[in-house]
Structure 1
């Protein structure tokens, strides 16, 4: 499966100021590091849960495979030979094709936001993620159909 962003949102999921406050940093010296840690955290969460966090319009291309993504908002354009359905804002597709869809959170749930902040904190401190992290990821994971 190939996912490309067609229209990128300018809105940050978590502002650098909010991360600085959470980490109790008074300076902007580490801002680039914080941005990179946040980007890594977003990627980690998306990979582990099949959820897209950043609200954008995406082009999804898939070839004889399953596609499971959430939160699904709108199907904009589609050209596929596949079984397609949605359930509780989750997109399920199996087969081949190409589609343009709007995915992601307009407003990030607070527990995911806290997970991302903790990810940045542990990356910044060089510590390991607590066990509660796995419980949250398991709760948001979209399972195969």
Structure 2
């Protein structure tokens, strides 16, 4: 019997006309790939609460979570996830990443970065919701 996927939230976080990408660090199963920052939803918290908590803990950013953009289910060799994207805003571009590099990019530049497999599938699904091609 297949395990239920773990819920992981991802923030498509905008500051002005740019959004935030995060690169997985060395030693990570997905090292070197880029992703939308976020993390696992803990028991007893909403997806929006989890996203705010993860971004504050990992990036030092306070965000305003807006609408849900979409989701994908993806099975990696090491984990089965449901990746759920939310649009979010922040006024601060000063990121204090504790895990890997971060970069603010224009939405049309996202596809120039090697995204993790789940994030790539998610981007293909949600970019139209953002009015991008």
- TM-score w.r.t. the length of structure 2 is 0.22
- Give the number of the structure with larger relative contact order, counting CA–CA contacts within 8 Å between residues 6 or more apart: 2
Determine which structure has the larger helix proportion and give its number.
1
Larger radius of gyration: 1
- TM-score w.r.t. the length of structure 1 is 0.21
